[in-house]
Structure 1
Amino acid sequence: MTTTRPPIPPFTQESATLKVRQAEDGWNSRDPEKVSLAYSIDTRWRNRSEFAHGREAVVGFLNRKWAKELDYRLIKELWAFGGNRISVRYAYEWHDDSGNWFRSYGNENWEFDESGLMKNRHASINDLPIKASDRKFHWPLGARPVDHPGLGELGL
């Protein structure tokens, strides 16, 4: 049985924007099991220099990620879309276990199957050390509030 994860392709401006916000909200939950449900059973990922294949690998990856990247807060923004593909840019802030803060900037290319599950994810990310006083993402942990500025509004 295949799970449907609306919106499904082909994407419109509105549905692609919604898909991006749903992904952002999911990742901001920092719940690997919940996040993995947005991906096909046989999803293929490249995240930086790490490759993952399948939901189980995604859960393992996310558990490791959020054990290292503490107080993680993410903003994603639609960059482009067409058919069953979406491209996003994003930034997230986090600190390590020594209290060093970072803002990570990235781009992702997503490809979805006919049921709206992501089957391919390619992510390129750079980390920038920042001072705690330079942070821009200050909402309580969890989903970004609707009225919080996006990347463009923050000059990122």
Structure 2
Amino acid sequence: MSPDNRLPLPPFTLALARQKVRAAEDAWNSRDPDIVTPAYSVTSIWRNRSVFLTGHDQIHEFLTQKWQRELSYRLIKHLWTFADHRIAVRFAYEWHDVGGQWWRSFGNENWEFAADGRMRRRIASINDQPIDRADRLFDWPLGRRPDDHPNLEELGL
């Protein structure tokens, strides 16, 4: 096995798909483009809302700008379905802008993986909903979501 592989590798079982989703959630909750970007193939293709990206440089720049704009970002991903080398997830994340307005962003992602376990295609559809600070549901310390924190299903999302 190559040291460049990103475990788990496809084809996915239910357990491996869940592991892959949690690994992605944990990486994104780091809010560090240097941690997140290597999980994607060098030529990875993204559609994020109406933004189209290709490759590590564009992904890294996009993520850098995202986390400069989306402050106190906390994310939960939930496995929706999987087959062979593809995974679909639902997700929600909370963040606030520089003006202090809190948001909950909801979305779906379709992921396609290369044999080395890196994501070669990511298609994301996302909607943003303004929320009051008092309505936040994702209030753990910044970083990895605690294992005992409710998931999207348990939160009714």
* Alpha-carbon distance in structure 1 between the residues aligned to 2:47 and 2:3: 24
Extract unaligned runs of 5+ from structure 1.
Answer: none
Matched to 2:71, the amino acid is L
SS of 1:64's equivalent in the other structure is: helix
* Alpha-carbon distance in structure 2 between the residues aligned to 1:87 and 1:105: 14
**Equivalent residue pairs, number:** 156
Q: Give RMSD over aligned pairs.
A: 0.9
Q: % of aligned pairs identical?
A: 59
Displacement of 1:33: 1.1
Matched to 1:102, the amino acid is W
TM-score by length of 1: 0.99
Deviation beyond 3 Å, 4+ runs, structure 1: none
* Alpha-carbon distance in structure 1 between the residues aligned to 2:44 and 2:156: 33
Displacement of 1:142: 0.2
Q: In the alignment, what sits opposite 2:62?
A: 61
Kept in 2, the 8 Å contact 1:2–1:115? The answer is no
Kept in 2, the 8 Å contact 1:84–1:111? The answer is yes
> Does residue 36 of structure 2 align to residue 43 of structure 1?
no
* Alpha-carbon distance in structure 1 between the residues aligned to 2:107 and 2:81: 14
Extract unaligned runs of 5+ from structure 2.
Answer: none
* Alpha-carbon distance in structure 2 between the residues aligned to 1:86 and 1:132: 32
Kept in 2, the 8 Å contact 1:75–1:92? The answer is yes
> Does residue 90 of structure 2 align to residue 126 of structure 1?
no
Displacement of 1:3: 1.3
Matched to 2:148, the amino acid is D
Seen in structure 2, the aligned counterparts of structure 1 residues 2 and 53 have a Cα distance that, compared at 3 Å, is farther
Displacement of 1:42: 0.4
SS of 2:89's equivalent in the other structure is: strand
Matched to 2:34, the amino acid is E
* Alpha-carbon distance in structure 2 between the residues aligned to 1:24 and 1:18: 10
Displacement of 1:107: 0.1
Displacement of 1:23: 0.1
SS of 1:37's equivalent in the other structure is: helix
Displacement of 1:2: 7.2
